[in-house]
Amino acid sequence: MSKKEVDFSNRDRFIELGLMISSLRKMQGMSQEKLAEKAKISRSHLSSIEAPNIVRPFSLEVLYNIADALGVRAGDLLNATLPPTK
C-alpha cells in the first residue's frame, strides 16, 4: 500500500473525522482559510481532509494542530460522532 492510500477498513473513519472537523469549524464560524492558518497547513490540504468524497490520510501532527486550532482535544475529535442525518 502506498503512502497516499488508505486501508479500506479505515476509509469511513477518515471521512467521519473530516466531517467532524468541518462541523466544528463551521459551528465556530471559522473559514477554512482561518483554520488552515491556525493549524499551520494549506487551505487545500484542509479542504481535502474535510471533503466527504475524498479520503485524505494525514499525520498525527496535523490532527493535533487542527485540534489545537479548534480548541478541542485530539482524542475528542477521534471519539466524537455526528448526529444521524434525517
Any domain includes 2: no
Any domain includes 83: no
Any domain includes 29: yes
Any domain includes 23: yes
Burial of 26-56, coded b for 16+ CB within 10 Å and e otherwise, reads eeeebebeebbeebebeeeebbebbeeeebb
Count the domains in the chain. Answer: 1
Any domain includes 3: no
Question: pLDDT means per 10 residues in the chain (86 residues)?
Answer: 61 90 95 98 96 88 97 91 62
**Residue 69's CATH number:** 1.10.260.40
Residues spanned by the domain of 36: 9-77
Any domain includes 49: yes
pTM for the predicted model, two decimal places: 0.83
